[in-house]
Structure 1
Amino acid sequence: MRRLTYILVLLLCACAAAPVPAALPLVVTTPAPTAERVDAVVEDMQSATAAHAAPAIAAVRDVVQAVLPAPEDDEPPLVSPAAVAHIVRWEVTSPAYYQRKLQRPIWPGGASGVTWGIGYDGGHQSARLILRDWEAHPDAAQLAGTAGITGGRAKAALPAYRDIIVPFGLAERVFVDTSLPVYRRSTLHAYGDGALSLPPDAFGALLGNTYNRGSSMVGDRNREKRAIRDVCIPAGDVTCIGMQLRSQCRLWRDTALEAGLCGRRDSEAALAEGAR
């Protein structure tokens, strides 16, 4: 019995010490009921900013070219400019709004951590990753202190970070260089390489949905995503994609998030439906 206990302690220590990979977002493999609860928490965390931003949406298409690096050798951009505009609009409303309200870290609520930039949640990152992503910021070491702090603990910790200012220019650069490539890979992981055959704006609509809702395909909460993967994409049907994106609104009916998230789903659907 002592030997077994010793082995278990060693295993637990090894698990605790194992580094968290900075690759694709987690793919849920737990049983459906548990996974659905996990998905719901993640969605609420990722959606909190959108609920605040939605009432004051402003056009940001004029800044998209400044956000996206110029493609080389006539290569298409990593993500369509319209899709980038969609995500930026729903995460921070506009550069002007960002400068007025979001230059300093915030706590969006729920299971979120201390958040800054364009939806960058320090609580769901490792300190090493934060230091790498924000190495150009003079307070990167201080921002790295938010790693792993979420929920009520993040709310309590927020005052220690409110003196940090994150300029929009740096926020957009981290968004383009770090967040977009990760979520592009995550979108392909969820929907398969067939998604690349879609028009760029339709693929961008799916990427925007993944950015907000995650990549899980598990359970009833994600039935529309499975329909997009299994029915709409094989048929190349952007109208089908738009219908399934709007149908996701059922998840927030009669909740405080309905206006913001149903509006966001409508925006994604319109982006997909207008894709050519």
Structure 2
Amino acid sequence: MPSSLTTRINNIQSSIGVTQSGVFDNATCIELLSRGGKTANTTDLKTLIKMVQRMVNTDDDGVPGSETVTKIEALIAPVLPKPPAGASMVLSKKSIDALIAFEVTSKAFYEQKYQSPIWPGGESGVTIGIGYDLGFYTTKQITETWGPLVSASDLQLLISVKGKTGLNAKAALPPVKQVKIPFDTAIRAFHFFTLPEFAGKTKRRYPGVQKLPPDAQGALVSLVYNRGTSIEGDRRREMKNIINLVAAENLNGIATQIRNMKRLWDPQKQGGLITRREKEAQMVENASFNILPEDQVIV
């Protein structure tokens, strides 16, 4: 009678489409590495097994026992954990890190450029933290998010520019620039308030988004974080087209629509937005359920 581990390995092999041998052979290891975005640069079986073990964050002893099998099962599981009450989606850590980088580049760059409020231009309002646009929030919302994090006087300065966008926001910026928001404070506001808020907005705009792989969910949150949820008018046609594509779980179609948005911006003046759309599209089209639990973030 085969051991339970043999049966589990057979199930893994069936799931990834290789011959069911009941042992970790070369074909199994190479396919697992491929699904994890790794290149198998050897044919030595023990080395391949160790590479798989490192990929799934377990001891690389070259002996694929129960711990290794459990980690691999989690990696290839096609079902995500159900978000608990109060949560909306399951994002990948990679997509959240990308969103933060899109908004502020890095901690060092944030501390150099974004600690004080800015006006990004266009129809934006005065913006603080990780892309928090005060032009689109109410006094109550600003107070709930930033009241526990800044002084009372700074909070009143932030509230003074609520609802102001475009040139009105630009004109209102100078007195507010004295406010300083450290990176750690900005990240706290992002994780506790802004990210869950935009996950909820994304789920409401794109029903069924929570059924997509975590990278795709995260890319769409990034899109909504940047562009909002409006679907009216020609500039928003791709945002509207994505609704049915999400319902159909059509990753390639979603990626195409995100890329099509590049038509909206001048590469010479708004190259950053074009790059962002391309990276979001790549996250969607390469998204997979082959993701470890520790790389998933429920929001």
Farther-moved stretch of structure 1 (92-101 vs 180-189): 180-189
Equivalent residues, number: 201
- TM-superposed CA distance for 1:233, in Å, is 2.4
TM-score w.r.t. structure 2 length?
0.62
Aligned mates of 1:206, 1:228 — CA distance in 2: 10
Query: What does the per-residue CA deviation read over 1:79-138, in whole Å, with 9 as the maximum and x for residues that have no partner?
Result: 321221121111101111001111011111222222111111222222222122101211
Contiguous gaps of at least 5 residues in structure 2: 1-82, 289-299
Q: CA RMSD in A?
A: 2.2
Correspondence for 1:9: none
Aligned partners of 1:105 and 1:115 also within 8 Å: yes
Q: 1:217 aligns with which of 231, 234, 241?
A: 231
Q: 1:150 to 1:222 in 2, by over 3 A?
A: closer
Structure 2 residue matching 1:189: 3-state secondary structure: helix
TM-score w.r.t. structure 1 length?
0.67
Give the letter aligned to residue 164 of structure 2.
I
Task: Please list every run of at least 4 consecutive aligned residues from structure 1 whose deviation after the TM superposition is greater than 6 angstroms.
Answer: none
Query: What does the per-residue CA deviation read over 1:195-234, in whole Å, with 9 as the maximum and x for residues that have no partner?
Result: 111101111111111111111222332332333221x324
Correspondence for 2:188: 173
Aligned mates of 2:253, 2:211 — CA distance in 1: 15
Q: 1:125 aligns with which of 119, 134, 137?
A: 137
Give the letter aligned to residue 183 of structure 1.
F
Structure 2 residue matching 1:162: 3-state secondary structure: helix
Correspondence for 1:106: 118
Aligned partners of 2:126 and 2:134 also within 8 Å: yes
1:193-208 alignment, distance < 5 Å:
194-208=208-222
Q: 1:83 to 1:123 in 2, by over 3 A?
A: same
Give the letter aligned to residue 202 of structure 1.
A
Q: 1:178 to 1:220 in 2, by over 3 A?
A: same
Correspondence for 1:266: 278
Aligned mates of 2:266, 2:165 — CA distance in 1: 26
Structure index of larger Rg: 2
Aligned mates of 1:110, 1:237 — CA distance in 2: 32
Correspondence for 1:156: 171
Structure 2 residue matching 1:236: 3-state secondary structure: coil
Correspondence for 1:80: 92
Give the letter aligned to residue 241 of structure 1.
I
Structure 2 residue matching 1:79: 3-state secondary structure: strand
Q: 1:233 to 1:115 in 2, by over 3 A?
A: closer
Aligned mates of 2:118, 2:211 — CA distance in 1: 38
Percent identical pairs in the alignment equals 41
